[in-house]
Amino acid sequence: MKQVWVEKYRPKKLDDVVGQTEITERLKAYAKTKSMPHLLFAGPAGTGKTTCAIALAKELFLENWKENFQEMNASDERGISVVRTKIKDYARIAPMGEAGFKIIFLDEADALTPEAQAALRRTMERYTQTCRFILSCNYSSKIIEPIQSRCAVFRFRSLKAEDIKLYLLRIAESENREITEDGMEALIYVAEGDARKATNSLQVAASMGDTIDSNMIYETASLARPQEVKRLLTTALGGSFAEARKRLDDLLITDGLSGVDVIRQIHRSIVDLPIPDHKKVQLVDKVGEIEFRIVEGGNERIQLEALISQFILAGEDMEGQSSR
C-alpha cells in the first residue's frame, strides 16, 4: 500500500472483532473464566455474530473446540421435531475432554416457529449442565420472551465506515492487492455496514486485477454509481422529464439494474439532495409507496417513471414557492 491515507486505517489490534469492541471484551471475560450463560446475538447480517461464536468456542475449548461446538441453521430445519430430536439428542451428550459443557450455535434462530421456540426453551432449561446455547438472529423481537430472559443478550450494530476500511485493508495487504481511495469509498457504499458483503465485493474485484478502483467495484457489484443516481434525481427536480427518463433507461438497460435496486439507491440518495427537509419527507414517502407496488407485482418501468414524475412535481412546487 503506497497511499498515505492508508496509514490512518491500519489495524492496531488483531484480537478484536472489527467494530464490536465492547462485545469482544465481554466475551473475553467468559473465555477467561471458562464459563458462560446462554447467549443471544442479535443484529444485522455481516456484523460478526458467527465469528464471535466460533472465536468464543475456540477460546473455551482450545484443541477440542470442534468436538464441543455444534453449528445448526434454524432456517433449514425450523420445526418442532428438530428441537425434540436433533437438538435435544446433542444437548444431552456429555462434553468431550475436560470441558464443562458443550455449545450449540443456532444460527437464524428467529426463523424458528413459535412452537419450536417453546420446545427449545424447555431444552435450554433442562440440559444447562451439559450444554449452553448461542442463538443468533437478525431480529430479537421474533424470539419469544421466555428465551430472551434465559439469555445474556448481545446487540451487534452495523459496522462504521472506518471499521470496514480497517478490515478490508488487512485483507488487501495480506493478499498483495492495492485499493485506491475511490475504490475504498465504493466498497463502503456497497457494503452498507455489512463486512461479509464488503469482503465478497473485494474478492470479486480482486480477480480482475491487483489494483482495485471504484470502476471495478461498481461493475462487479451490479450497482450504479451514486453520482449517476443523484444526477437522475437532480435532473428530475429540474423539470426535464425526457432527460430524466433517458438517465433511468441507462440504469435499467445499460447497467442492467432491477427496479428494486434503483429504488433502494434512490432512497439512499434523497438525503444528499439540496432540497428542504419537508420535501425529502414527502419524497421518501413516495419512494416507499412505489417500492411496495413493485414488490407486489407492479410494472417496474411504469412505477419508476411515476416516481420520477413525483420528483418533477416537487421541483416545480419549490420553484413556484421561491418565485412568490
> Which CATH number goes with the domain that contains 295?
1.20.272.10
Distance in angstroms (rounded) separating the CA atoms of residues 141 and 85? 26
What mean pLDDT comes out for the span 102-112? 88
What mean pLDDT comes out for the span 109-125? 86
Same-domain status, 177 and 85: no
Axis crossing angle, helix 195-206 with helix 161-174, rounded to the nearest 10: 40
Same-domain status, 116 and 86: yes
What mean pLDDT comes out for the span 194-201? 88
Predicted confidence (pLDDT) per residue in 277-321, tens digit: 999 999 999 999 999 999 999 899 999 999 999 999 988 888 776
Residue 242 burial class via C-beta count within 10 angstroms: exposed 0-12, middle 13-18, buried 19 and up: exposed
Same-domain status, 102 and 191: no
Same-domain status, 128 and 207: no
Domain extent at residue 41: 21-155
Residue 80 or residue 71, greater confidence: 71
Beta bridge partners of 135: 40, 106
Longest dimension (CA), the chain: 81
Answer whether residue 322 is part of any domain: no
Q: Which of the four pLDDT bands, split at 50, 70 and 90, describes residue 15? A: low
Residues making up the chain, counted from first to last: 324
* Strand stretches in the chain, DSSP E: 38-42, 69-73, 102-107, 131-137, 151-155, 178-179, 211-212
Mean confidence (pLDDT) of the chain:
85
**How much is the pLDDT for 2?**
44
Residue 304 or residue 79, greater confidence: 304
Q: Indicate the pTM of the whole model.
A: 0.76
Residue 321 or residue 150, greater confidence: 150
Distance in angstroms (rounded) separating the CA atoms of residues 189 and 229? 13
Q: How many other CB atoms sit within 10 Å of the CB of residue 319?
A: 12
Q: Are 308 and 233 in contact (CB under 8 A)?
A: no
**Greatest mean pLDDT among 63-77, 117-131, 219-233, 275-289:** 275-289
- Could you give the number of structural domains in the chain? 3
Same-domain status, 145 and 164: no
Same-domain status, 234 and 211: no
**How much is the pLDDT for 16?**
66
- Phi then psi for residue 75, to 5 deg, are -75, -20
What mean pLDDT comes out for the span 242-248? 91
Q: Are 174 and 11 in contact (CB under 8 A)?
A: no
